[in-house]
Amino acid sequence: MIVMLDEEPKTGQAEVSRTLTDAMQAAGVHPAYVYAVKRCGFIYTDENADALTDDQVESWHAAVEDWFDQNPTDGG
């Protein structure tokens, strides 16, 4: 049996990020963190903090803060 795919699998950075953020939303992760992943392209955790640059950590915290600034009725 031969199976033909109409298109290449979607495994690029944008598709992986979208899959991750979709899963985060489905799991009930706070939208500020979903926003930060979309904006930064990575997840900041206590476990990976030492592996990130100071600029990455700053950009993560700035993204979370920006979400709360844009959504003040949601706890910001």
- The structural domains of the chain, with segments of one domain joined by +, span 31-76
Q: Is the pLDDT of residue 39 over 90?
A: yes
In the structure, what pLDDT confidence band is assigned to residue 15 with cuts at 50, 70 and 90? confident
Phi first, then psi, for residue 34 (nearest 5°) are: -65, -45
Q: Is the pLDDT of residue 18 over 60?
A: yes
Residues 6+ apart with CB under 8 A from 28: none
Q: Give residue 9's pLDDT band: very low, low, confident or very high (50, 70, 90).
A: low
